[in-house]
A and B are shown apart, each in its own frame.
Chain A
Amino acid sequence: MDGNLVVLGVSLLVWGLLFLYLLRLERRIRDLEKR
């Protein structure tokens, strides 16, 4: 398999997971701020 595609896939996976984590964190902070 093309090494470039593997590295790209891993990079996009890491970016996607980080993005989801930050979205969840932001939602949680918003909930805390509302209280």
Chain B
Amino acid sequence: MLARLLLFLWMALALAAGFLWAPAVVGLEETTRVLYLHIPSAWIAVLALTWSAVHSALYLRTRRIGHDDHAAAGAGLGVLFCIAATVSGSVWARARWGAWWNWDPRETTIVLLLLVYGAYLALRGAIEGEERRARLAAVYAVLAFATVPFLVFVVPRLYDTLHPSPIVPQAGGAGTMHPRVWICFLAALAGFTGLFFWMESLDVRLRRRERSAAAERAARP
């Protein structure tokens, strides 16, 4: 419980400091504040999808159903944080570019990523039988993960984009972004990471509980 309360305070302080204590980045002005929500969400999306792919590969290797639980939880949270990154990015785009959606390469690739992992969730929901579902979903997750580096890191850099990723590293490459912005950004990143692992553990525990309840039901005469 203490760890949960610490996480709550940590995130609340990181957010408050980001809005009240850290200055705005030159070129982004007050929209800098999205930095403390949007980038951590995108980071967790990549972390969660990597987590899902690693556990899918481990499932295919060991056939332990626990790995399938972790893979499913990771993919679900990956989609959730992907949506959070998309929504926060869209709000930022409205403020900076004047439109909620512009089909910028970054926006297009995140939609493709959502479609790829939306299909993963649909696949899991469509297959009967625990072992079969786990096996097919694991194969799909490993193949789907091959798209993640391309859609997140490669494709957006191949095309001209309005997305400010080149601005932030320039302004804030190690030495130039204000130290307070760095502190708040890294604190938010750490807080989101803690939140991800908490949510992931809850999801896995819920899946285990559902499985044992189903087994108990099946064992009843």
Q: Which B-chain residue is minimally distant from A18 (CB atoms)? A: B195
* Cβ of B8 under 8 Å from chain A: yes
Q: What DSSP secondary structure best describes chain B's contact surface?
A: helix
Tell me the minimal C-beta distance from B10 to chain A in angstroms. Answer: 11
Residues from chain A with Cβ under 8 Å of B8 in the complex: 15-16, 19
- Interface residues of B toward A: which range? 10 to 19
Decide if B33 is an interface residue (CB 8 Å cutoff). Answer: yes
Select from chain B the residue with minimum beta-carbon distance to A5.
B19
Number of CB contacts from chain A to chain B under 8 A: 45
Interface-side segment among B66-74, B134-142, B197-205: B197-205
Of A15, A25, A26, A32, which one neighbours B15 at CB under 8 angstroms?
A: A15
A5 CB to nearest chain B CB (Å): 8
Question: Which of chain A's residues 7-29 have a Cβ closer than 8 Å to chain B?
Answer: 7-8, 11-12, 15-16, 19, 22-23, 25-26, 29
Contacts of B11 in A (CB 8 A): 15
Query: Contacts A15-B11, A19-B8, A32-B209: A8 and B20 contacting too (C-beta < 8 A)?
Result: yes
Q: How far does the Cβ of B133 sit from chain A's closest Cβ, in whole Å?
A: 22
B177 CB–A CB distance under 8 Å: no
Where the two chains meet, the residues of B that have a C-beta atom closer than 8 Å to any C-beta of A are: 4, 7-8, 11-12, 15-16, 19-20, 30, 33, 37, 198-199, 202, 205-206, 209, 213
Give me the interface of A with B, judged by CB distance under 8 Å: 3-5, 7-8, 11-12, 15-16, 19, 22-23, 25-26, 29, 32-33
List 11 A-B residue pairs with CB atoms under 8 Å apart, sorted by A's residue number: A7-B33, A8-B19, A8-B33, A11-B19, A12-B15, A15-B12, A16-B8, A19-B7, A22-B199, A25-B206, A32-B209
